[in-house]
């Protein structure tokens, strides 16, 4: 069942026993329907997220700071050449929107990737912790550009890209692991 495979993959981001859990939900959903199945998957993911965040809060705070720092450094690092180019071409401002795009997308993506590398199979809670820290900082020190009302939208975009970065890292990690297994097997 394709849906169950997707659900198993999503659950594997937060649990070591995703297959048996999804098996239970598949078994029960035969009498309860697809809506119940997906609602249960979502609630199970939320429960595991909360468990991981609350079980080791210090580690999650550390990962959150690491992820945020990585996304800021990566965003600034990637945008710097464009900013420098903009200084040389004073009559052209085409770089500014590009700088914004780089800072708002590539930075969080790399931040998510970086935090996922350090999360030991708990990519989703770690990415969630980074987004939560960003939200706390936005509320406590205000949005980076006062006068605009884009704070919430920017937070959503940031969170989406951090989570996407963590998920992409998971996919690459699984592929690299599979390749390593094959190399060992053939070797």
Partner 1 sequence: MPPTAPLGEFEQIVLLAILRVGENAYGVTVRAEIAACTDREPAPGALYTTLDRLEAKGLVTSRLGDPTPQRGGRAKRYFTVTSAGVAAVTRAQLAYQRLLKGLKFPEVVHA
CB of 45 to partner 1, least distance (A): 7
CB of 173 to partner 1, least distance (A): 22
Given the complex with partner 1, which of 26 and 137 has the nearer CB atom?
A: 26
CB of 7 to partner 1, least distance (A): 10
17 binds partner 1 (CB under 8 A): yes
15 binds partner 1 (CB under 8 A): yes
Residues between 45 and 84 with contacts to partner 1, criterion CB under 8 A: 45-48, 50-51
At 122 the three-state DSSP class reads: coil
At 150 the three-state DSSP class reads: coil
Rg (CA), the chain: 20
Q: How many other CB atoms are found less than 10 A from the CB of residue 19?
A: 13
Cα four-point dihedral sign 31, 11, 52, 24:
positive
Please list the alpha-helical segments (H only) found in 89-150: 95-101, 107-117, 123-141
Q: How many other CB atoms are found less than 10 A from the CB of residue 170?
A: 22
CB of 187 to partner 1, least distance (A): 29
CB of 105 to partner 1, least distance (A): 32
Chain centroid, CA 143 distance in Å: 21
CB of 14 to partner 1, least distance (A): 10
Q: Determine the size of the site formed for partner 1 (CB under 8 A).
A: 26
What distances in angstroms separate CA 108 from CA 42, 64, 122, 164, 173, one per listed residue?
Answer: 24, 12, 18, 9, 18
| Binding-site member from 10, 12, 13, 22 for partner 1 (CB under 8 A) | 22
6 binds partner 1 (CB under 8 A): no
Residues between 29 and 48 with contacts to partner 1, criterion CB under 8 A: 30, 40, 43-48
Nearest to 53 by CA among 124, 116, 143, 4: 124
Given the complex with partner 1, which of 18 and 115 has the nearer CB atom?
A: 18
148 binds partner 1 (CB under 8 A): no
Interacting residues toward partner 1 by CB under 8 A = 1, 4-5, 8, 15, 17, 19-28, 30, 40, 43-48, 50-51
């Amino acid at each position: 069942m394709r849906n169950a495979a997707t659900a198993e993959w999503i659950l594997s981001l937060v649990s070591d026993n995703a297959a048996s859990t999804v098996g239970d939900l598949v078994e029960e959903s035969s009498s309860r329907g697809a809506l119940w199945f997906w609602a249960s998957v979502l609630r199970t993911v939320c429960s595991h997220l909360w468990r991981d965040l609350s079980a080791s809060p210090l580690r999650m705070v550390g990962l959150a700071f690491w992820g945020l720092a990585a996304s800021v450094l990566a965003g600034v690092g990637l945008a710097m050449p464009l900013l420098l180019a903009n200084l040389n071409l004073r009559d052209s401002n085409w770089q500014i929107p590009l700088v914004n795009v780089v800072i708002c997308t590539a930075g969080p993506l790399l931040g998510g990737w970086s935090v996922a590398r350090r999360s030991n199979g708990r990519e989703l809670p770690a990415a969630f912790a980074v987004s939560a820290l960003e939200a706390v900082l936005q509320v406590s020190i205000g949005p980076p550009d006062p006068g605009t009302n884009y704070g919430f939208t920017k937070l959503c975009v940031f969170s989406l890209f951090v989570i996407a970065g963590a998920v992409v890292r998971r996919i690459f990690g699984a592929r690299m692991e599979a390749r390593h297994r094959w190399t060992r097997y053939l070797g």
